[in-house]
A = this chain, B = another copy of it.
Amino acid sequence: MFMNFVSAHQVSPADAMTLIDRAEAFKNGTPVPEHGPVYAANLFFENSTRTHTSFEMAERKLGLTVIPFDPAHSSVSKGETLSDTIKTLAAIGVNIAVMRHPADAYYEPLLAASPTLAIVNAGDGAGQHPSQMMLDLMTIHEEFGSFAGLNVGIVGDLSHSRVAHSDAEMLTKLGANVFFSGPEKYFSPEYKQFGPFLPLAELVKKVDVLNVLRVQLERFNSGETAEFSRADYHAKYGITDALAATMKPRAIIMHPAPVNRDVELASDLVEAPQSRIFMQMHNGVYMRMAMLEAVMQARQFGAVPASQAATVRR
């Protein structure tokens, strides 16, 4: 099933529900099944507190052995290709590489590079972010119990947003209605298949889930790339306290974080009762456990005959 976990494309609605169930079980304290030693490495070629730390935690809770890998101090700095790095890790005995990389679909050439090593995509360029997608689904499912007919708004810096790509695709598959808003020039054609662009005030009133995206910092920086001031963005495209007051009573606010406070979201809304932002982070650990376990099962990593299990060293 999940020989690798790289994209929303490979996740069926049934898969999604199985993973959500398993993640909720872990959250409720289901013990991790015993298994032989499995070795994971986390290759983060882009910075991330949340995703990286969350995977580190999930790996330890699953009983994996984590082999440290720092891209900045690796042979990649000697010009080694990503494919040769993956072959090296496989030869050394690493079973699972969790990777984030700025290149779109960086994983495509790697899937063939090593048949013995699984790739779990922790974000590729402007492509996919399947673990964020799955934890978003889990958080929505916890709240509403189902996806069919749910109205989900995805708002903000849609341009090059891997979260928006993955979430919109999967929510649509699951029967939710997806709507977009934010600066209209960021509503690129690939989103049209998933749902319409709405004026922000209209969207906010309509949705059950308001998923607000982080605005890339370079859009505010002085210099050539600056497009907005922070205050301007907040006034025109941000979720202000006034706007949030028009949300449906049971509607929730989500955000992949880190939040630019008072830019895409009023600062006090981050900790407001309708916010699920820290719950998303909390759920992320359990969902990543479920995803990693799915890969381990598909590849039979850690599957040790009972007769040998006693001599296996963790």
Task: Please list the residues of chain A having a beta carbon within 8 angstroms of any beta carbon in chain B.
Answer: 31-32, 37, 39, 41, 44, 47-50, 52-54, 56-57, 60-61, 63, 65, 67-70, 72-80, 84-85, 87-94, 217, 257-260, 278-279, 281-282, 284-285, 311-313
Contacts and interface: CB of A to CB of B under 8 A. Distances in A.
Contacts of A50: 75, 88, 92
A94 B285 CA distance: 11
A68 B285 CA distance: 15
A217 B32 CA distance: 47
A170 B258 CA distance: 40
A262 to B, nearest CB: 12
A91 B54 CA distance: 9
Contacts of A70: 70, 73
Number of copies: 3
Q: Which of A63, A93, A284 has the most chain B CB within a 10 Å cutoff? A: A93
A92 B217 CA distance: 24
Nearest to A220: B79
Contacts of A312: 31
Contacts of A65: 60
A80 B94 CA distance: 32
Contacts of A282: 91-93
B32 A53 contact: no
Given A47-B75, A49-B69, 15 more contacts: A31-B311, A39-B60, A44-B73, A48-B75, A49-B80, A49-B85, A56-B68, A57-B93, A78-B217, A79-B217, A84-B259, A87-B278, A90-B278, A92-B284, A93-B282
